[in-house]
Amino acid sequence: MALFEKALEASVMSTHLLIRANVSKTILFQAHKIATDFESRYSAYKEDSFLNTINANAGKAPIKCTDDDLALFTTCMEASQSTEGVFDITIGALSHGAYHYGFANEKMASVETIQKQKKLVNYRDISIKHNTIFLEKKGMRLDLGGIGKGYVAKQIAVFLAKSGATKLLVDVGGEIVTRGKSYTIAIKNPFDEGNIAYLKTSKGDMSISTSGDYIRHIDDHNHHILNTTEGTSKNDYTSMSILQNGWHIDQLDAYATAYFNLPLHKIEKLKNTLGIALLIIDKSNTITLMNQDILDVESITFSSLLFK
């Protein structure tokens, strides 16, 4: 007997979680636990988390990892390598060590602090071997904020599919995967209430990742998506959504973080190589839509903004 689609909503990983699938409530709760377990183990904001154990031992000692830890860190390293370090999981030396994003003492960092901390941002100084991970320089910090939500979204979707779901939507703070049904996905208006775009998926697998400067920022010019080279935030865009057929939301999450710091002409060169489409909104209310023809979707509609 077919199951009707059920839904679970919760607050986890400092964001909103939505799961829809034609599975039992028991399976939905197990899917929710994937997110809460990830948060407990890898949150930079939980003092006793495994992530903070790694960070506390930077420059001191390698830390033993489980197979699940190694799978996560390998994915993070692949994303760092494929973006040539524009996305870098050692950004924590800046995001948390300089700006203290998400902590009570969050503030704009001084030029001196930025210059000091950005020297500790380099994924190449991570050693993963013999089932251990080691941050080779004292003061280095991992921060999974640029990939964690996408990673969890994929883990939940895979679990649901293995559990018999033929229709599903998983949304972890704007990192979205779908299958088996036409869902309408809204892209938030970064300047006002409401939405600026609606994407109607097909029944095929779809991944949508969105990053924005309106989510977390210190002031109008300094937001949490930091440039790994300069140690500051760029202000070319206000929202970036990356869309792709299939379930590659973990990598798309990293790309959306990285490409926020790239000029438009560089993104234009990368889109075909990676097989991605993009919906980018800049500070002047202008939408740039790239490669939408590759998407297996029913429709994309927009509100009245300017287009390039």
The model's pLDDT over 241-280, given as tens digits with 9 standing for 90+, comes to 999 999 999 999 999 888 888 888 888 887 877 889 999 9
State the residue range of the domain holding 66.
50-135
What's the pLDDT score for residue 233? 73
What pLDDT was estimated at residue 18?
A: 97
Specify the CATH number for the domain of residue 85: 1.10.3980.10
- Residue ending a domain, among 97, 112, 135, is 135
| Predicted pLDDT at 115 | 92
Q: Which H or E run includes 31?
A: helix 25-42
What are 118-156's pLDDT values in tens digits? 999 999 999 999 999 999 999 999 999 899 999 999 999
- Choose one of 135, 158, 187: the last residue of a domain: 135
Judgement on whether residues 12 and 161 belong to the same structural domain of the protein: yes
Q: Is residue 34 part of a domain?
A: no
User: What is the pLDDT at residue 222?
Assistant: 57
| Same structural domain, 96 and 210 | no
User: 187 and 281, same structural domain?
Assistant: yes
Is the model's pTM score more than 0.85? Answer: yes
Separation between Cα atoms, residue 153 and residue 275, nearest integer Å: 20
Looking at residue 305, its pLDDT comes to 54
Number of residues in the chain: 308
Instruction: Name the helix (H) or strand (E) containing 302.
Output: strand 297-302
Whether residues 77 and 104 share a domain: the answer is yes
How crowded is residue 11: how many other Cβ atoms within 10 Å of its Cβ?
A: 9
pLDDT on residue 1: 40
Task: Enter the tokens of residue 39.
Answer: 């948060």
Structure tokens at 38: 């990830």
**pLDDT reported for residue 5:** 84
Residues 6+ apart with CB under 8 A from 162: none
Q: State which residues of the chain have pLDDT below 70.
A: 1-3, 103, 106, 214-224, 231, 235, 304-308
End-of-domain residue from the set 135, 162, 197? 135
